[in-house]
Copies of this chain bind each other. A is one copy, B any other.
């Protein structure tokens, strides 16, 4: 490991100050937003019965807030509401093979956000955010769907977190070996990993004449 550069901006708080491989730290909004927007899957940690739990969940963003949804009656949403959580989005961009096992690494982009999860309680704002979630995947899709019912709205909880306390770590490029190890005759390099979006598979029960929306064909992730 090598200290190639210093953090690009000031950490927003004591707990978001990166200590390990701290030269990979980024705190600027552009970097944080870009990582969140590239990967909708996040992992939310909360405490339940005094013990930590982490749940994979889909997230979306508006401005300086991040959102996720789930069952109003479920454990994860109930235990997270108004409670301290840590939300993490991480993207594995490659496997980094050095000349020494100790210097193996992965190329990655990740964000950690800390704070108290706030429930979105306003009916209109809830629906606006669910529409943003759906349309964020396929533009215009919400208005093509069977309209949402009150029972569905009531079954759904949306939580959100400010991005005030967030940090990112980003690693790119070649392996970084100790100077002396560059003479060692082991193959070194990186293996890129990315998401691949396949051909959409229409539901066999689609009604005749129903067309695939353009946004489905353009679907991107990563």
Where the two chains meet, the residues of A that have a C-beta atom closer than 8 Å to any C-beta of B are: 19-20, 41, 43-47, 51-56, 58, 70-71, 74-75, 84-88, 90, 92, 94-95, 97-102, 104, 106, 108, 110, 112, 114, 130-131, 134, 137-138, 141-142, 144-146, 148-149, 152, 155-156, 174-175, 181-207, 209-213, 216, 219, 221
Contacts and interface: CB of A to CB of B under 8 A. Distances in A.
Contacts of A145: 98-101, 184, 186
B52 A186 contact: no
A209 B186 CA distance: 10
Nearest to A144: B186
Given A138-B97, A201-B192, A207-B185, A45 B56 contact: no
A192 B198 contact: yes
Given A52-B47, A106-B58, A183 B207 contact: yes
Contacts of A92: 41
A92 to B, nearest CB: 5
* Smallest CB-CB A-B distances: 7 pairs: A192-B198, A196-B196, A45-B54, A45-B45, A56-B90, A45-B52, A188-B203
A182 B146 CA distance: 10
A37 to B, nearest CB: 15
Contacts of A156: 102
Given A134-B101, A146-B184, A201 B195 contact: no
A78 to B, nearest CB: 11
A146 B45 contact: no
A110 B100 CA distance: 32
Contacts of A41: 90, 92
A65 to B, nearest CB: 19
